[in-house]
Amino acid sequence: MRSYDYIPQPHAILYYSQRTTEGGFLISEASVVSETGRGYKHTPGIWTKEQVEAWKPIVAEVQAKGGIFFCQLLHAGRISNRDFQPNGKAPISCSDKPLKNKPNGGFNAAEFTPPRRLRTGEIPQIVNDFRIAARNAIEAGN
C-alpha cells in the first residue's frame, strides 16, 4: 500500500525482487482494476497505461531473478467509501447491505460508506474492467 495515486512506485522493484526465488511464484498485492474498484489508499492499479508502465520494471526484475510474477486483480466492492469513488458516489457492490463490524479485529464498518447495489446493466462494464486489467497485466509482463 505504497502506490501513490494508484501507480506502483520504483521502490516496489526492490520489495518484490527481495522476495523472489528461482522458480518461485510471486503474487502481487491486490491491484485495482478501475476507479470504481478502489477501496484503500495507496494501492496499485492496473487500469491505465501509466500503471502498466510502472509495473513493467517490477515484473522484469522478478523474472530476471527466475521468479514467476502474477498480478492479483481487485475490485473492492463494498469495502470502500465515497472518498475513493469517482465523484464521491457510493461504492458499488453486489448488495446494498452495509458492512457489519467483525468481532476480534475485523473491519470497522464505520470506515465504509453503505454501498449501492450494482444494476444488471452495469455488470458488463465491471466484466470489461477485469478484461482490460488482465490484458494490462499481460502487457506489463505477467
pLDDT of 57:
98
Residue with cell 508502465: 53
Grid cell for residue 1 = 500500500
| pLDDT exceeds cutoff 70 at 49 | yes
- The pTM (predicted TM-score) of the whole model is 0.90
**Under 8 Å between Cβ of 88 and 42:** no
Which contiguous run of DSSP H or E holds residue 112?
A: none
Phi, psi of 93 (to 5 degrees): -155, 175
Q: Are 86 and 79 a contacting pair, CB within 8 Å? A: no
Q: Where are the beta strands (DSSP E) in the chain?
A: 25-27, 31-32, 68-70, 73-74, 92-93, 116-117
What pLDDT does 106 receive? 62
CA 140/CA 137 separation, integer angstroms: 5
Q: What percent of the chain has pLDDT over 90?
A: 84
